A and B are shown apart, each in its own frame.
Chain A
Amino acid sequence: MPPAVTKAIEGREGRLEQGAGPLPRPACALSWSSMEVFEVWQRRTPGDPLVRAGSIKAPDLELALLLARETHFRHHEGAECWVAHRGRMHAVAHPETMGGVTDRSYRRQDGYVGVGARHKKLSEALRARGLTVDAPRPGARGG
């Protein structure tokens, strides 16, 4: 180390070590315990919805924003890059009951499968007896 450096360190920082012996040398400047996980989101083009691009580790939000772009966007993957701290995202409880556990298929589009055919068959049977359905079909236009 050049003498000027040693001198500068003694002048200012050396005091911090007095009496404490040499500081332990970490393997690298960053400690893993200070790392946070951030979820990274992208829009492929400006009008697209946000979708997840992946995740990254960073010590804080500012570095997460700096590192997300080179981790997930260095090949022109998207028009926008967003990050969200995983610790600030919250999962809804009891996901196994989402959408209900009993039969409510009538609420779904597939609950109406065959309604048109049944309506047609019934109309034909009524017509054979000289009757007609004069009320419009629910939702039918004009009628």
Chain B
Amino acid sequence: MRRGPVPAVDDPRVGLLLALADDELILGHRLSEWTGWVPYIEEDLAMSSIAQDEMAHARVLFGIVSSIDRRDEDRLALGRAPEEYRNALLCERPNGDFAFTLARHWLYDTADAVRLESLASSTFAELRDAVAVFRLEERYHLEHARAWFERLAGGPVEARHRFAAALSAALPDAISVFEPLPEEQALLSDGTLPEPSETLLGRWLGEAGQALDEAGLDYVLSGGAAEPGEMIPTSAGEIAGEERSVLRVPGVERRDGRWMHAGSFAGAGGRHGRHSEDFAALWGEMTGLYREHPGARW
């Protein structure tokens, strides 16, 4: 197996593929941490199955990267330095309690659905085909997330409290799913990305905002409106030898009865390989075996 420096392949599509794959890989890893610990067995199986689906999607995307730059799947999944991972900060956050996990699940899967719907008309045929397959499975994830959303949002006070707190806490991170990619301009110009990330952010906030309105939980959004431009600490400091940095995400406001973003992104987050402290521990565990035993196979 080849190790060493990343081959210099100057293809903007790799950046997009890794962002999509890493979201699925890292969220899949987080969800798999619940295996055996979910409040009851049927939900444990569903959560673990969703984790496996996410990892399978990452694998398909790594396969496409592999066809472009010849890095093998294991190396892409486990053999990169922390600052080479492109996942959104949302995916790397620790699971917290069941309410946070389900809030993150709902935020991520509704955001992912908007993103996949757009990518379904990408000019990049391999990606478009993969997206068509992912959407079949993501439909279940979405139904699962929505079912729990309704039950926790409408549940007893304790459940509703915890769920609302989790949604509020995760909201800025969820917005960062739509942090523009460094390669965004190139990807837009050839139609690989049919729409800018910011357009998708607006669409997602409109849809998610409507669901939150209907559940009487819109105040989790107005928490963001009070201080537009929430700052999310990111840090690749020790690893990349760069200064500690922050990602500033747009605020949220209601205009003409519809939730949308206000302002734009500044700084650098997950899409630029800048991660939170939470990522370091996850990376250490996830890649430990691969680093200890180079070339190990299943």
Residues of A in contact with B (beta carbons under 8 Å apart): 1-2, 4-5, 7-9, 11-13, 16-17, 23, 25-26, 28-30, 35, 56-59, 62-63, 66-71, 74
Q: Which chain A residue lies CB-closest to B230?
A: A4
**A67 and B98 contact, Cβ closer than 8 Å, known pairs A4-B223, A29-B155, A29-B159:** no
Q: Does B289 contact A (CB under 8 A)?
A: no
Please give the number of chain B residues whose Cβ is less than 8 angstroms from any Cβ of chain A in the complex: 35
Q: Which chain A residue lies CB-closest to B159?
A: A29
Tally of A-B Cβ pairs under 8 angstroms: 81
Are the CB atoms of B223 and A5 closer together than 8 Å? yes
Neighbouring B residues of A62 by C-beta, 8 Å: 147
Are the CB atoms of B226 and A4 closer together than 8 Å? yes
Are the CB atoms of A66 and B162 closer together than 8 Å? no
Question: Which 10 residue pairs of A and B lie closest in terms of their CB atoms, listed nearest first?
Answer: A28-B39, A4-B223, A70-B46, A67-B42, A5-B168, A70-B49, A8-B223, A70-B45, A8-B219, A29-B159
**Closest CB in chain A relative to B158 CB, distance in Å:** 6
**Closest CB in chain A relative to B8 CB, distance in Å:** 41
| Contact of B219 (CB < 8 Å), options: A12, A56, A74 | A12
Besides A2-B168, A63-B147, 10 new A-B residue pairs in contact (Cβ under 8 A), listed by A number: A4-B224, A5-B169, A5-B223, A8-B168, A12-B164, A12-B216, A25-B158, A66-B143, A67-B42, A69-B140
CA of A43 to CA of B169 in the docked complex: distance in angstroms? 44
Are the CB atoms of B223 and A23 closer together than 8 Å? no
Neighbouring B residues of A63 by C-beta, 8 Å: 147, 151
**A4 and B144 contact, Cβ closer than 8 Å, known pairs A13-B161, A71-B42, A71-B45:** no
Neighbouring A residues of B98 by C-beta, 8 Å: 28-29
Are the CB atoms of A74 and B49 closer together than 8 Å? yes
